[in-house]
Every structure is written in C-alpha cells, then in structure tokens.
C-alpha cells in the first residue's frame, strides 16, 4: 500500500494515553497542561481490543513495526496486556511484529520485566540532560536523572534492546550538555540520539531560534570525540547515524526541521481516541473509533484505512515555511504531541 508519493506504510505509532507525569517544556508545558486541564475520560480511549484490531488490519497492509507512545504509555493500566495482544500478531508471511515503546523512564524499572515477558522488543527512553537541575527544569516536576538512569540499566538487564535514548535539544536550555551526554553514553549498550526541537502542536511556543541544528550537534561532538557517518540500518530510517572513529559506539541525529525526511516517511499515527493521522504535524485526523463503535466490519475498516493512506500527500517539513504561514492564516492549530504521540 503506497501513498501519492510512492511511500509505503511500514510503521504504526499508537498513543495509548493522553496523560503524562512530566510537564516537559517542549511537549506538555505546565501553563497549558496544568491541574485544571481536562484529560480524556476512560471510555473515550480506545480499548486494548480496538487497538489490536486496528493493528491487525495495519499489519495486513504492510506494517511491520508498532510503537506504543503517549503521553506516557506506562501510565495506562494493564499496558502489559496490550503488549501481549500485539505480540501475537504476524505479518502475512508469518513473521512477528517489531513492538517498541517510547517512555520517559519514570516507572520503567518497575515494568521492564513484565513488558519483556509480554513480548515488548525495545524501548526508547527520553532523557534531555544528565545535569539534575537542567533535567528537572525541563520535566518541570522535579524528577531526578538518577531514576531514569536506573530504569535504563534495569531495562537493559532484562533484555529490552537495543535501547535508544532521545535527547530533545532546545537552545539555551540544555544544548550545553550535548558533549557531556555523548561522552557519558559512549561505550555503553545505549544509542544516544539528538532530536531537533520541533513545531509540533501549538502550546510549546516554538521558534526557529530555539532549534539547535543537527549539523551543529555533530560538529560539537566531532571536535572532541571524532565521528564518521555510517549508512542507515534500513530505508526510511529517520535518524542519521554517526559512529565514533575508535569504534566505541554511535550516536544518531534526527533533523526533522533542518533536513526533512518527508520523502521517505512511512509512519502513520493513531491517537488516544482512535483518530488516524498521516503526519506528525497534522491539524485533523480520521475518526476510526466512530467506525468501529458504529459496527463496521474488518473489511470496511480496512478499505477506509487503505483509502486514507493512498490519498496521502503530507510533506509538512519539506514545505515548513509555506505551510506554517498557511496554518497561521487559517487559524487552524496542529495536533499536540501529547495527543498524537511523538
């Protein structure tokens, strides 16, 4: 199944909750997501059975990787049950699905073994600084770095891997820690990735001046820890890979602002309440929950999903300046990352 630019559907990201116990400044800033913010009611969320149904149909259409996101996915009660249900899925030629999760790591140490036993393959952990004051300022709930580092070690010990660490960079807030992060995780089992601060949603006050270009990140690290670029692991990989010249590990950079990868994007996203989005920077989605709860058959649901993808023309990052201007003129707002998943 391909879209209007011949891009196949290979990856599905599913947001299982809109709630998070962090208030990261680039995702769920406290001034917007404060104590009075109205999160979704339980019956608004897709059930595990509904999520598995969408995943099964997506796998039949070519999806090979499923990533569970949020909010913070480990806040969803019984998440291990969903992992087990998804782990039972098979591709048309009988291969298991690659099931991963993105988490802030706050409760991963408690859940790691159960997740592994249920069939989770890999985790990606968000960690924006090793400096406790900087990290706590960014998560805005005074959560310490030490607990995230412990979660990494526990997850590795139970066999969830390779584990990736995502560091979102915001100039003037944590970019001073780039080399320190690289040095700390060099020679470990973990793959550190630096992500450009993105204009997802409308609540984080994004400005281009806050973006630290990936080219600058690579230059800073290379000046102290020499790097060589290496080939991607697969077609459509969003992260450009750089290996330490001494062979002691690698880093990745995700440059969705300065070096768009729209041309190879093979991802679809399902929101917490069952809307299908074909772009992270979308303003609206397609309501699959209404179809399922309205009694549609698998065949009907499959046909709708195929039509949505085949009509896809999204390439926001390639046209960022033009599209941003259009959105401002129209008054439309992009969907928040906490709703659609990162």
Q: Which residues are known binding-site members for [4Fe-4S] cluster?
A: 20, 24, 27, 262, 265, 279
Q: 217-220: long-range contacts at Cβ-Cβ below 8 A with a sequence spacing of 24 or more?
A: 217/169, 217/178, 217/253, 218/242, 218/253, 220/178, 220/179
Q: Which residues are known binding-site members?
A: 13, 20, 24, 26-27, 67, 71, 102, 126, 164, 198, 262, 265, 267-269, 279
CA 211 to each of CA 7, 170, 194, 200, 340: distance values in angstroms, whole numbers, following the listed order: 28, 6, 12, 13, 22
Select from 146, 157, 138, 143 the least CA-distant residue to 24.
Answer: 138
Where do the DSSP E strands lie in 70-140?
98-103, 122-126
Sheet holding 65-69, edge to edge: 227-230, 240-244, 250-254, 191-196, 164-169, 122-126, 98-103, 65-69, 11-15, 267-270, 275-277, 286-287
Q: Which residues are known binding-site members for GTP?
A: 13, 67, 102, 164, 267-269
Q: Which residues are known binding-site members for S-adenosyl-L-methionine?
A: 26, 71, 126, 198
Select from 267, 315, 301 the least CA-distant residue to 65.
Answer: 267
- Burial of 258 per CB tally in 10 Å (0-12, 13-18, 19+): middle
CA 130 to each of CA 127, 134, 176, 178, 194: distance values in angstroms, whole numbers, following the listed order: 8, 8, 11, 10, 14
- Beta-bridged to residue 243, according to DSSP, are 228, 250
CB 304 within 8 A of CB 288: yes
The separation between the first and the last C-alpha atoms of the chain, rounded to the nearest angstrom, is 23
CB 25 within 8 A of CB 170: yes
> Can you tell me the distance from the alpha carbon of 152 to that of 103, in angstroms, rounded to the nearest whole number?
11
């Amino acid at each position: 199944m391909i879209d209007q630019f011949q891009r196949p559907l290979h990856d599905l990201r599913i947001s299982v909750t809109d709630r998070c116990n962090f208030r990261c400044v680039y995702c769920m800033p406290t001034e917007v997501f404060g104590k009075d913010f109205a999160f979704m009611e339980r019956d608004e969320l897709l059930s595990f059975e509904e999520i598995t149904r969408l995943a099964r149909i997506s796998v039949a259409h070519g999806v090979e990787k499923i990533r569970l996101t949020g909010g913070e996915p480990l806040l969803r009660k019984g998440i291990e049950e969903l992992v087990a249900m998804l782990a039972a899925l098979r591709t048309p030629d009988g291969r298991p699905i690659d099931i991963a999760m993105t988490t802030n790591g706050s409760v991963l140490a408690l859940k790691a073994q159960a997740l592994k036993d249920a069939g989770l393959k890999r985790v990606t952990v968000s960690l924006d600084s090793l400096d406790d004051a900087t990290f706590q300022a960014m998560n805005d709930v005074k959560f310490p770095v030490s607990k995230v580092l412990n979660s990494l070690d526990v997850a590795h010990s139970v066999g969830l891997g390779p584990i990736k660490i995502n560091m979102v960079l915001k100039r003037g807030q944590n970019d001073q820690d780039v080399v320190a992060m690289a040095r700390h995780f060099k020679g470990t089992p973990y793959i550190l990735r630096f992500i450009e601060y993105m204009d997802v949603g409308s609540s984080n006050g994004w400005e281009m001046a806050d973006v630290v270009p990936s080219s600058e990140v690579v230059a800073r690290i290379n000046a102290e820890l020499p790097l060589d670029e290496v080939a991607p692991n697969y077609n459509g990989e969003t992260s450009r890979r750089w290996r330490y010249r001494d062979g002691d590990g690698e880093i990745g950079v995700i440059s969705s602002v300065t070096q768009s990868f729209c041309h190879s994007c093979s991802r679809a996203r399902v929101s917490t309440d069952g809307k299908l989005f074909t772009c992270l920077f979308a303003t609206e989605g397609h309501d699959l929950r209404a179809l399922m709860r309205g009694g549609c058959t698998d065949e009907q649901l499959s046909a709708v999903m195929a039509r949505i993808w085949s009509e896809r023309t999204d390439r926001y990052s390639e046209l960022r300046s033009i599209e941003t201007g259009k959105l401002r003129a129209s008054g439309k707002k992009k969907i928040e990352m906490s709703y659609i998943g990162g």
